[in-house]
Amino acid sequence: MRAFTKTKYGGPEVLTLEDVPKPAVSEDSVLVKVKANSANPADWHILRGKPWFARLTFGLLRPKDKILGADFSGIVEEVGESVGQFQVGDRIFGETLMGGAFAEYLVAKEQVCGKMPQGARFDEMACVPIAGLTALQALTTQGKLKKGESVLINGASGGVGHFTVQIAKAFGAKVTAVCSTKNLDFVRSLGADLVIAYDREDIHQHQGDYDLVVDIHGNLSHRDFTRMGKRGVLVGFTTMGHMMTVMLKGAFSKFPLTQFTARANTNDLETLAAMIQDSEIKVHIEKRYAFREIPRAISYIEKMRTRGKVAMIWDED
């Protein structure tokens, strides 16, 4: 099968499309014929081995895992002996953070997969796992958002942000969203009640008062969180130094602030699938690339200016 492989850390130029053996299914996993992928900042962090502490997980001197890629959608070709939720022929989507998804076939543990909604397209469902799970878990598990509460979403126009705005609205929150001027109309179209352009108004001077502040971009200071919110969730980071400073200040403050890494599970994936089925969430795909152009897709999202998501297609059918 064809797959994008890497043997050293570096930019998208270190990725090679080559023939590799098809992976073998294990007891608690499924073999998936991949139809589509999406790109996430995690892909270029893992590809570059940055920030450096990521190398403790992904390989100290060179990458442990040969095939890059996390988000996928596709069709189940084989199931392991203990797999109970999926059958051959099921249309599924999911996330393998340790890699393997930028390939014609992948093996994934059943608990990181969910069934696709009836009639959903492979390209749109490949865009959901990391960004959708992060949005859902930031608002619910971490942010404890309740109906009628107000939420500020900083970084509302990208992959995570565009899902966060829609999920918060679906949960009955009052949403104020922060993005650049060029994305104001896009973010309004997602349902935000109020939109702030960070290139017109300094968010660090903003005097709003919110039940929850979700910082997806990762440039808010600890003072920004305490000035604007009653509780906060830190999703992304601009520099490691900035994130460490915010969390260190958080450790010595009573302000409820959490930082987390989203975890895939079937329950949350199928919650997202149901919201898509019920048209509570729409996946916005800014760009589609053919699978051969996966390195270009990674280069594009590395600019951190994506509107919605970027999908990569292995097979249109």
Binding site for ligand NAP (CB under 6 A): 40-41, 130-131, 134, 154-155, 157-161, 178-180, 183, 198, 216-219, 235-237, 260-262, 301, 304-306
E-assigned strand segments in the chain: 2-5, 16-19, 29-38, 71-79, 91-95, 105-109, 113-115, 150-154, 174-179, 194-197, 210-215, 229-234, 257-259, 285-290, 309-313
The three-point CA angle 28-32-36 to 5° equals: 135
Of 48, 109, 107, 42, the residue nearest 69 (C-alpha)? 42
27 or 201: CB nearest ligand NAP = 201
CA distance 118 to 82: 25
Which is closer to ligand NAP, CB of 76 or CB of 190?
190
Q: How far is the CB of 44 from ligand NAP (least distance, A)?
A: 9
Nearer to ligand NAP, 83 or 312 (CB): 312
Q: Which is nearer to ligand NAP, 64 or 182 (CB)?
A: 182
d(CA 108, CA 101): 9
- Nearest distance from C-beta of residue 204 to ligand NAP, angstroms: 10
**Ramachandran region of residue 79, left (φ > 0), alpha (ψ -120 to 50) or beta?**
beta
**Shortest distance (Å) from residue 185 CB to ligand NAP:** 11
Spatial distance between the Cα atoms of 157 and 22, rounded to a whole number of angstroms: 37
For residue 12, cis peptide bond before it (omega within 30 degrees of 0):
no
Nearest-approach distance from CB 209 to ligand NAP, in angstroms = 20
Q: Which is nearer to ligand NAP, 240 or 304 (CB)?
A: 304
Minimum Å distance from CB 207 to ligand NAP?
Answer: 18
**Smallest gap from residue 157 Cβ to ligand NAP (A):** 4
Q: Which residue is nearest to ligand NAP (CB)?
A: 158
Nearer residue to ligand NAP within complex by CB, 23 or 129? 129
